[in-house]
Chains A and B, each alone.
Chain A
Amino acid sequence: MKRGSVSAIINLVEPWEALEPLTAARPVGMLPFGGRYRLLDFPLSSAINAGIQNVMVTSPRSGRSVSDHLRSGRDWNLDTIRGGLFMYPYNDLKLVAPEKKATLIHHYYDNSILFLKRSHSEYSVVMSTRNVGNIDLKALLRYHEERDNPVTTVYKSVDPKLLMPQNTILQLTDKGMATAVMPAEKAKLPKTAKKAAKNMDIYLMSTVDLIEILDEANRRGDLISLEELMKQAVIQHNANAFEYTGFQANIHDLASYFAANMSILDEANFRALFYSSRRIYTKVKNEVPTFFAEGSQFRASLCGTGGYIEGQVDHSVIFRNVLINRGSQIKDAVIMQGTRIGAGTKIENVIIDKNVVIGPNLILKGTPTEPLVISKGQHIFRQTEVVTSD
């Protein structure tokens, strides 16, 4: 792909309510995933791996966590003299005062338009973060160039039983063209259907067309999300539908976030996501090696660096800098960066956010569909402080 011929907009303004409390202070795209990554790393890496050098990241609020993660974009090779990384915070209209909101009418898409115009790119791709995958955007561009419709969308063919209410699906013609994007529940798939085209929320079109869509939305005075505009564009123009066949995780609520983390403990999924020819980039950290003490048992699990493991860990995703004390038993858990687990504590089906301290000899237990969540920075030393979900 010629340098600069494609630009990318990664949209972090995504529904976050069902992921609370994990999303209380971070956008969905900043959710930690897979031992050392954030969801944002996946679409960003897809862009980088396709040689895209103009990337805009829109975030709902201040984007502190986003800019702390991305900084200059160096870790993604985006601190270039041409193009680079552009941050665009404060896009969550719920947080905007009414008088400010009034001034945004006819101007809500100005920054995106400016970014696109200055990118001098021929094509643009719009992505979000809650469909984790490792997609080949070069192949997507080829597919687009070979076809006639102005927009190309991406879908993953899935068993309809696995669809969640939050998913949208593409309505495909016999020739594989998408004519609509609709919520899974409204799609009225025949009961016998074995496959559904799950929308991956990735849209590719010419930059000129995207600017036109945004200009028009400005003229109309729209204040709706980029994603919504993209769906409208599919319905309006019909779209080419590109099938993605790699690993995908579908993250919409706590159960699906938990399941997605558990799914990469399956070695085939782990390798498909992380060891393809397209690497996943993230912020680099200088951590010391993880130490596994005498008597520790760490099995069927992932671990970041900087950890200190004395206890037993089974089938869990352990992030960087986690301390697991002697005699603790951890099973089916997601434990994020900087958390400490006391001696003799038993943990099962639990998500523990960053920098949590769990005291000794406690029992934390959730279920696979309702994992117990301990939110960021909590210190828990008494069993009565644990709200169990069963």
Chain B
Amino acid sequence: MNDDMLGIILAGGQGTRLGKLTKGTAKPAVPFGGRYRIIDFTLSNCANSGVNTVGVITQYQPLELNAHIGNGASWGLDDLNGGVTVLQPYSSSEGEKFFEGTAHAIYQNIEYIDQQNPKYLLVLSGDHIYKMDYDAMLDYHKAKKASLTVGVIPVTKQEAKRFGMMNTDETDRIIEFEEKPEHPKSDKASMGIYIFNWPTLRDYLVKSYATDKSMEDFGKNVIPSYLAHNESVYAYAFKGYWRDVGTIQSLWQANMEFLSPHNRLNIGDNNWRIYSKAQVLPPMFLTETSQVNNSMIVDSCYVAGEVDHSILSQRVSVGMGSRVVDSMVMPGATIGKNVVIDHALIGEEAVIGDDAIVKGTATDIAVVGYDEVVGVEKP
């Protein structure tokens, strides 16, 4: 168990690239895979790695996220000596504690972290789909006697242009960091996962905010400064399945990959379960007229139509004569009769009226927002 390592999940980003879906909710709270929300993967990884004390830093539209996390009991994180704390900006004599970048978010929550008094600080994003053992990463961090360890994932040259790239020597020590390089020198992309020796990071942040306030972002500011000061910074290579779901296209794609029984994520592996907020709902009901193929369905769904290569989340109903293809439908959405949903993401509690057509393509996914009503004539 990692009594020495505190987990911090950065869940405050607006997620503007998810468009309508994050208009009223934080990106980590966006539903995924039928019965999860994106943050469940990171929270479950913490629980499974023995990181029992976790702070979740929120800022943008936190209500749904707060309700989802609750006291952390659903992840077994309602620990007697730790547990989950949702950290929201507050005002103090030094001003309001809203934050601009990732490192600034840590600085603004320095009091919480000091309360926990960790040796190591594990910094995570709340918007990735993966299963990762942070304890193994900590072992690596200790073995390398690193000041900072950065989780990296191999990417292609094409993809590298979207990531912060780590150039390492033969011992995996990071010697150079390049943000979204045109001509990448390595294939090691930062996953936005860091283990810091907390006292060192604390010094950097406190000094910076006492002077030039330059330490806003880990990628842009902290890592370059660490490298400039010759801190020992190492890359920890993660080989498993990992997806950033920050865009409509990547969110849809990861959901479609999730559908495959051969998905490398291996969601059914009971040795590394992904937990989510426990809800008690009646079982799914598929009627006489249903036709379901290659699809995932969860509790409290009602299907009278056709569902092909799609994911239905809790409480979704699909009326008779409707056809849902290559799509992901979020909790509580109601799909009427004779509707066509094709290559689409349907937001929570959306209502699709009878005979409506919501049709996207593999490169241009159709999106219906939360609570949006499509094709129902106003009375």
Q: Do A and B bind each other?
A: yes
Q: Kindly state whether residue A74 has any CB partner on chain B within 8 Å.
A: yes
Smallest beta-carbon distance A42→chain B, Å: 13
Contact between B288 and A289, CB atoms less than 8 A apart: no
A305 to B285, CA, bound (A): 11
Contact with A along B272-286 (1 / 0, CB 8 A): 011110111011111
On chain A, the residues within 8 Å of B274 by CB distance are 286, 288
Is there a chain B Cβ closer than 8 Å to A86's Cβ?
Answer: no
Q: Does B298 contact A (CB under 8 A)?
A: yes
Residues on B close to A: CB < 8 A?
Answer: 33-35, 73-74, 259, 261, 267-268, 273-276, 278-280, 282-299, 307, 311
| Docked complex Cα distance between A143 and B287 (Å) | 39
> Please, which residues of chain B bring their CB within 8 A of the CB of A36?
282-283, 299
Which secondary structure dominates where chain B touches chain A?
loop
Give the complex CA separation of A292 and B267 in angstroms: 15
A303 an interface residue at 8 Å Cβ cutoff?
A: yes
Tell me if B285 and A299 are in contact (CB < 8 A).
Answer: no
Contact (Cβ within 8 A) A292 B297: yes
8 Å CB contact of B283 from A34, A284, A292, A299: A34
The answer to whether A299 and B288 touch across the interface, beta carbons within 8 angstroms, is: yes
Chain A residues within 8 Å of chain B by Cβ, number: 36
**What is the CB-to-nearest-CB distance from B57 to chain A, in angstroms, rounded to a whole number?**
25
A291 in the interface, Cβ–Cβ < 8 Å? yes
Task: Please name all residues of chain B whose beta carbon is closer than 8 Å to the beta carbon of A297 when the two chains form the complex.
Answer: 291
Q: Tell me if A281 counts as interface (CB < 8 A to partner B).
A: yes
B299 lies within 8 A of A305 (CB)? yes
Residues in chain A near residue B259, CB distance under 8 A: 291
Q: A289-B296, A292-B295, A305-B298 are in contact. List 4 more A-B contacts (CB 8 A).
A: A34-B282, A292-B293, A294-B294, A296-B293
Contacts of B284 in A (CB 8 A): 290, 302-305
Known A286-B278, A291-B261: A300·B297 in contact at CB below 8 Å: no
Residues of A within 8 A of B73 (CB): 74
With a cutoff of 8 Å between Cβ atoms, the chain B residues found around residue A289 in the complex are 33-35, 296-298, 311
Is A344 interfacial (CB-CB < 8 Å)?
Answer: no
- A300 and B287 contact, CB distance less than 8 A: yes
- What residues of A have a CB within 8 angstroms of the CB of B287 in the complex? 267, 299-300
The residue on B at minimum CB distance from A79 is B73
Complex contact B286–A301 (CB within 8 A): yes
In the complex where A35-B283, A36-B283 touch, is A293 in contact with B288 (Cβ < 8 A)?
Answer: no
* Distance, CA A74 to CA B76, complexed state (A): 13
Offer 5 A-B interface pairs, CB within 8 angstroms, sorted by A.
Answer: A75-B280, A286-B276, A289-B33, A289-B311, A292-B293
Interface-facing stretch out of A55-63, A101-109, A272-280: A272-280
Contacts of A303 in B (CB 8 A): 283-284, 286, 297
The answer to whether B261 touches A279, judged by C-beta atoms less than 8 angstroms apart, is no
User: With A286-B275, A292-B297 in contact, do A299 and B286 touch (Cβ < 8 Å)?
Assistant: yes
Q: How far is the CA of A285 from the CA of B291 in the complex (A)?
A: 27
Residues of B within 8 A of A16 (CB): none
Which of B259, B290, B292 has the most CB atoms of chain A within a 10 A radius of its CB?
A: B292
A291-B285 CB under 8 A given contacts A75-B278, A284-B280: no
In the complex, residue of chain A having the shortest beta-carbon distance to the beta carbon of B288: A300
Decide: B294 and A288 in contact? CB cutoff 8 A: no
Given contacts A74-B73, A290-B298, contact A284 B282 (CB under 8 A): no
Bound CA span A305–B274, Å: 14
- Chain A residues with CB below 8 A from B285, complex form: 267, 270, 301-302
Contacts of B296 in A (CB 8 A): 289-292
A248-289 contacts to B (CB < 8 Å) = 267, 270, 274-275, 279-282, 284-286, 288-289
- CB-nearest residue of chain A relative to B289? A299
Does A15 count as interface, using CB distance less than 8 angstroms? no
Across-interface contacts of B291 in A (CB, < 8 A): 297
CA gap between A291 and B311 in the complex, in Å: 9
Chain B: minimal CB distance from A275 (Å): 7
Contacts of B294 in A (CB 8 A): 292-294
Residue ID in chain B nearest A320 by CB atoms: B283
Output the least CB separation between A17 and chain B (Å).
Answer: 29
A280 & B282 in contact (Cβ 8 Å cutoff): yes
CB-CB nearest in chain A for B285 = A302
Q: CA of A267 to CA of B35 in the docked complex: distance in angstroms? A: 24
Alpha-carbon gap, A286 to B35, bound state (A): 9
In the assembled complex, which residues on chain B have CB atoms less than 8 Å from the CB atom of A279?
280
- Which are the 4 A-B pairs with shortest beta-carbon distances? A35-B283, A284-B278, A289-B296, A274-B282
B286 touches A300 (CB 8 A): yes
- Tell me the complex Cα distance, A296–B291, Å: 8
A74 to B74, CA, bound (A): 11
